[in-house]
Amino acid sequence: MNPTPDRSRTRRKFLKMLGASPLIAGSGILSVGLAGLLRAEPLEAKHFLGWLENLQQSDEVISSPDQALDVMDFEPAARKNIPPAHWGYLATGVDDDATVRANRDGYSHIQIRSRRLVDVTNIDMSRTIFGTKWDTPIVLSPVSAQKAFHPDGELGVARAAGKMGHLIMLSTVATASIEDAIAARGGPVWQQLYPTNVWEVTQAIIKRAETAGAPAMVLTVDLHDGSNRETLFRAQRVDKRQCSMCHGGGYSPFARGKPGTSSSKGGFADYIARKPMFDGLDVSKVTELLPLAMSWDLVKRLRDTVTVKFLIKGIVTREDAELAVEHGVDGLVVSNHGGRAEDTLRPTIESLPEVVEGVAGKVPVIVDGGVRRGTDIFKALALGATAVGFGRPHCWGLGAFGQAGVEAVLEICRRELRAIMRQAGTTSLDKITRDYVLARRA
């Protein structure tokens, strides 16, 4: 007799019982994850239960950056400090967060093939991109409104990046200006671009960033207003603070319903008017960060306008990679917005090889989404990435301990990358090729 149906019923009964416990029921975010697991496959449930077992074994939260053993140690420390709604914004994906989990799980399906008897005394982790040499291939991806996680905000992240020699991208809707970010970093900062639906505003943002010294503009194409961010919405319900105290009405461009229909009196234009990159601009007609009508025609228009390097962030297929190269872009970022844009269930690490194939070596390719370990960085490099980015981990460090936390996150990732390069027998990044990875058998 096949015992699978009985095991499935038992699993569901156990998960339901777990969901009624005070530990889970008291946490809106944990309960959302558990609700998703009631619909999940047994393997997903196994992963969650293993994580829960580890959680039960130790409820300690680190109290200083030096106590962290890995970047995941910063997550509970940050959650302890960050207000519920702000934490929900950082943690959320789309629908039941399945693509957030898929991004992370994608790396577990790749094995590393290690070579032996290689002199690994000296390890070179540097990478040159557009003529600039970076100490490592680790990139700090753009995350908006970082002062929501810690008063240091983007400037603390920029200072950490400058101190440790890392490339950083600044969000269009950051809580710091490009001028201040470049000054804090003491060097170049790439400007991420939400073009909005008003061309004059788009032009002004580009000109401002170029004048400030940003060497690259990174157009995001994978996000539309109104995505169903259930984890955020549930976290907002349990946050008892009055958002008007710090948000001037509490408007969120990703609230339920159509953009601009928030209870905030100022609406969408008021929301972006509070962002430094829009200072001095007429935003009264801006209703979208990414216009629904955006097409390759806009890419051509931007390519003709941008005088620095021009990249597209959010490309995940070979076909679009080929089109991007045809339109003269200088680079691509393989990204699904950390699972915050759409619930495709496709991890970016699985999209990476076909995008690399599509560009055919003509432009650099950066990848982000689900990166948590030095081994993840190694795997992405082996599959053709020029550099590898992450957003949530450095924000966990920021939320937990400010700039010092960001520095600690970066140091852990550098240490782990150096370790796996030694263990695999690769003394420099150009030696990390596809020969060093293979798909893990099911």
Query: What number is the average pLDDT over the span 304-324?
Result: 98
Residues 53 and 121 in one domain: no
Instruction: Choose one of 59, 79, 101: the last residue of a domain.
Output: 59
Residues 119 and 50 in one domain: no
250 or 31: whose pLDDT is higher?
31
Contacts 24+ apart (CB under 8 A), 358-363: 358/317, 358/318, 358/319, 358/320, 358/321, 358/322, 358/325, 359/321, 359/322, 359/324, 359/325, 359/332, 360/325, 362/325, 363/324, 363/325, 363/329, 363/330, 363/331, 363/332
| pLDDT at 265 > cutoff 60 | no
Distances (CA, A) of 75 to 24, 68, 127, 200, 401: 17, 10, 28, 40, 11
Residues 44 and 123 in one domain: no
Q: What percent of the chain has pLDDT over 70?
A: 81
Q: How many domains does the chain have?
A: 2
Q: Summarize pLDDT for 238-247 with one digit per residue, the tens.
A: 888 766 545 5
| pLDDT at 178 > cutoff 80 | yes
| pLDDT at 257 > cutoff 50 | no
| pLDDT at 404 > cutoff 70 | yes
pLDDT bracket for residue 31 (50, 70, 90): low
Residues 186 and 39 in one domain: no
- Assess if residue 69 is contained within a domain: no
- Assess if residue 310 is contained within a domain: yes
Identify any residues that bridge with 193 across adjacent strands, giving them in sequence order: 219
337 catalytic? Reply is: yes
Residues 348 and 430 in one domain: yes
Instruction: Reduce the secondary structure of the chain to three states and give it as a string.
Output: CCCHHHHHHHHHHHHHHHHCCHHHHCCHHHHHHHHHHCCCCHHHHHHHHHHHHHHHHCCCCCCCHHHCCCHHHHHHHHHHHCCHHHHHHHHCCCCCCHHHHHHHHHHHHEEECCCCCCCCCCCECCEEECCEEECCCEEECCCCCHHHCCCCHHHHHHHHHHHHCCEEEECCCCCCCHHHHHHHHCCCCEEEECCCCCHHHHHHHHHHHHHHCCCEEEEECCCCCCCCCHHHHHHHHHCCCCCHHHHCCCCCCCCCCCCCCCCCCCHHHHHHHCCHHHCCCCCCCCCCCCCCCCCHHHHHHHHHHCCCEEEEECCCCHHHHHHHHHCCCCEEEECCHHHCCCCCCCCHHHHHHHHHHHHCCCCCEEEECCCCCHHHHHHHHHCCCCEEEECHHHHHHHHHHCHHHHHHHHHHHHHHHHHHHHHHCCCEHHHCCHHHEEECCC
- Assess if residue 100 is contained within a domain: no
- Assess if residue 83 is contained within a domain: no
Residues 40 and 121 in one domain: no
Residues 163 and 273 in one domain: yes
Residues 429 and 295 in one domain: yes
Residues 378 and 304 in one domain: yes
pLDDT bracket for residue 25 (50, 70, 90): very low
- Assess if residue 346 is contained within a domain: yes
Rounded CA separation 253/273 (Å): 13
| pLDDT at 118 > cutoff 70 | yes
Residues 214 and 134 in one domain: yes
Determine which one of 86, 247, 337, 394 is catalytic.
337
| pLDDT at 37 > cutoff 90 | no
Mean pLDDT of the chain: 87
- Assess if residue 76 is contained within a domain: no
Distances (CA, A) of 69 to 111, 114, 140, 415, 417: 22, 24, 20, 11, 14
| Residue 43, domain extent | 1-59
The pLDDT of residue 35: 54
Residues 201 and 282 in one domain: yes
- Assess if residue 78 is contained within a domain: no
Task: Quote the pTM value.
Answer: 0.85
Instruction: Choose one of 33, 59, 85: the last residue of a domain.
Output: 59
Q: Identify the CATH number of the domain in which residue 163 sits.
A: 3.20.20.70
Residues 133 and 9 in one domain: no
